[in-house]
Amino acid sequence: MKHCLTLSTGLSLIACLLLAAPALAETALFSEDGYRLSHYRSPTPTHTEYAHTLDTPAVQRLLDEQPQTQLIDVYRRPWRHGRFIEDEVHANLPGSLWLANTGDGELSSQWQDYFSHHLQQASHGDKGWPLVFYCRADCWLGLNAVKRAHTLGYRNLYWYRDGIDGWQQAGLPLVRAQPLVLP
C-alpha cells in the first residue's frame, strides 16, 4: 500500500487498491509458517510433504493392517465461556478422537496445549504412532493439524483428504461425536 503513495498522481486510489488486492489477499490466507489462516473450506492440495495422503480405501487398508492407528478429527466447534457449544450434531469416523479447533491456522497456548496433550495420550508417548488427521473434503483444518503434529515431532502421519464427506459418500458409518475436553 505504501507504494501507492509514490505512484504518479495520474493513478487513482481505486486503481492502486485494485493492484494491491492480490498481494493483500495472498498474505491473509497463510501464516509465515505456512498454516492456512482463513477460508478453510476451499480446495486443498493433492498431497503434503508432512504426511501420506489417503483416500477412503487407503484409510480402510491402514486400519486393517495397523489397527492401533488413531483417527483424529479436527472439525471446528464453537468455544464460549470455557466450554464447547453444540451448535449442530457432529458425526465422525468410528474410533476417532475429536480434537476440535486444533486445525485452525493460529492456536492460542490453550489450544496448542490441548492438541499436544491429547496427541501425547493418543500415541502413548510414541512419536512414531500412526495418526490420521481429517476434517471434511476441501478443508484445510486437517492439513494444518498434520503440519502442527509434524512440528511437534510426530513422524508417522497421514492426511485423509476427503475426510468425513469421503467416508459418508462411500456408504460407511459415522458415529455421533463430542470433542475431547480441555485438560
pLDDT at 22: 53
CATH number, domain at 97? Answer: 3.40.250.10
Which of 122, 102, 120, 121 minimizes the C-alpha distance to 112?
A: 102
Q: What percent of the chain has pLDDT over 70?
A: 85
pLDDT at 41: 87
Question: Radius of gyration of the chain from Cα atoms?
Answer: 19
- Structural contact between residues 98 and 181, judged by C-beta atoms closer than 8 angstroms: no
Same domain as 56, residue 6:
no
Please give the residue range of the domain that contains residue 13. 1-30
Same domain as 103, residue 21:
no
Q: Give dist(CA 39, CA 162) in Å, integer.
A: 17
pLDDT at 90: 98
Same domain as 126, residue 61:
yes
Count the neighbouring beta carbons within 10 Å of the beta carbon of residue 119: 24
For residue 158, give the DSSP letter.
Answer: E
Same domain as 8, residue 65:
no
Same domain as 160, residue 75:
yes
Same domain as 63, residue 19:
no
For residue 78, give the DSSP letter.
Answer: -
pLDDT at 182: 86
**Domains: count for the chain:** 2
CA distances for 180 relative to 31, 57, 157, angstroms: 27, 27, 20
39 domain-assigned: no
20 domain-assigned: yes
> 4 in helix, strand or coil?
helix
Count the neighbouring beta carbons within 10 Å of the beta carbon of residue 183: 11
Same domain as 170, residue 126:
yes
pLDDT digits (tens, 9 = 90+) for 91-127: 999 999 999 999 999 999 999 999 999 999 999 999 9
Same domain as 85, residue 138:
yes
Q: Can you list the residues of the chain whose pLDDT is less than 70?
A: 1-27
pLDDT digits (tens, 9 = 90+) for 84-95: 999 999 999 999
Same domain as 87, residue 153:
yes
How many helices (H) and strands (E) the chain has is answered by 6, 9
5 domain-assigned: yes
Helix (H) or strand (E) holding 14: helix 13-29
